[in-house]
Amino acid sequence: MRSEKPMGLATEKPSQDKALIFEIKGNSLDDGPGIRTVVFFKGCPLSCFWCHNPESMNARIELSYDRKECIGCDSCIDVCDKGSLRRDDPSFITRSSCTLCMKCVEVCPGGALSQVGRYLSVEEVLKKIVVDLPFFTTSGGGVTLSGGEPTLYMPYISNLMRQLRHMGVSTLIETCGLFNLETFMELCYPVCDLIYFDIKLLDAQEHKKFCGATNDMILKNFIQLSRTCAEEKKHLLPRVPLIPGITATERNLTAIASFLRETGHEKVELLPYNPLWSEKLEKIGSRRTLDDHAPMKTWMDRDDLNRCRAMFSGFEII
């Protein structure tokens, strides 16, 4: 089947009125209360080693190649005038010469090649979301802004959430916490109903090593937001990704549990590890490999999960 004509072209430049979005997914039961539509923004100030959406990290449009979907018709090779697609290249795409013209995507019959990320206006996003309104009403759901990191686009998401709230739709932001708090409080806080805030590693150096930046601003933002949300009875949920050998250690989880107690939290979401993310790396030409991180190659078993849960005694665990 020929791929759908993209709404935002790869050649389009970023603008204040548009944000780079890589997926809008309806019928989600995993990203907040009820049935939700999730808008995934592309680009993140962190670069977590285990990122479950590696296609979200780069704030640029990318070309994805799924080897398993390729039927070997070579239509893409014929249409690429840059010679960037070659069978003798192990990764198939020579990204250094690719201009992201997306001509190959247009001719690929099975969707093995696809464009990751499109610049969409708020109106275009709302048009896609509006069909899901009946599900929100019946399930107590709404719209979740995820990523990547939605706060990279604060004026845009502020406008989007304001319009959703006018339509009676509940709004939720999932964030890594690395943002300018003043701008967040001015633009985003007043128009979001729920905030899901990731706390990954409490040690600053480990955070820098595995997430690409220290956690000072993240923790400061969390402490301040915890106070404000408690005073104003807004829902702020801390979430901890359980990454074998990295975040899911006794030392880290015990430290996070103490930090959450000190900041007045009684509820936490623990996100179990899913190793399937690594299959996405090859599609976008990432050189990252799990070869030095054997525990990350398998699912977390029930005993490990229970050991992690035990560190949060007294908490309501989601």
- Residues engaged in binding ligand SF4 (CB under 6 A): 63, 70-76, 79-80, 82, 84-85, 93, 98-104, 107-110, 112-113
The minimum distance between CB 105 and ligand SF4, in angstroms, equals 7
Q: What is the torsional sign of CA 106, 8, 12, 91? A: negative
CB of 316 within 8 A of CB of 267? yes
Is the CB of 71 or the CB of 130 nearer to ligand SF4?
71
The dihedral built from the CA positions of residue 96, 97, 101 and 102, taken in this order, carries a sign that is negative
* Distance between CA atoms of residues 42 and 23, nearest Å: 9
Q: Taking the complex as a whole, how short is the minimal distance between the CB of residue 201 and ligand SF4, in angstroms? A: 37
Least distance to ligand SF4 from the beta carbon of 106, Å? 9
Contact 66, 112 (CB under 8 A): yes
Nearer to ligand SF4 by Cβ, of 101 and 281: the residue is: 101
C-alpha distances (whole Å) from 93 to each of 22, 142, 202, 272, 313 are 20, 39, 39, 33, 49
**Angle subtended by helix axes 122-129 and 154-166, to nearest 10:** 40
Least distance to ligand SF4, CB of residue 2, Å: 11
User: Can you list the positions of beta strands (E) in the chain?
Assistant: 18-28, 36-41, 62-65, 113-116, 118-121, 142-146, 170-175, 194-198, 235-241, 267-271, 316-317
Between 37 and 64, CB nearer to ligand SF4: 64
**Cβ 170 to ligand SF4 shortest distance, Å:** 39
Q: CA separation (Å) from 120 to 11, 102, 288?
A: 13, 17, 29
Q: Minimum distance between the CB of residue 81 and ligand SF4, rounded to whole angstroms?
A: 7
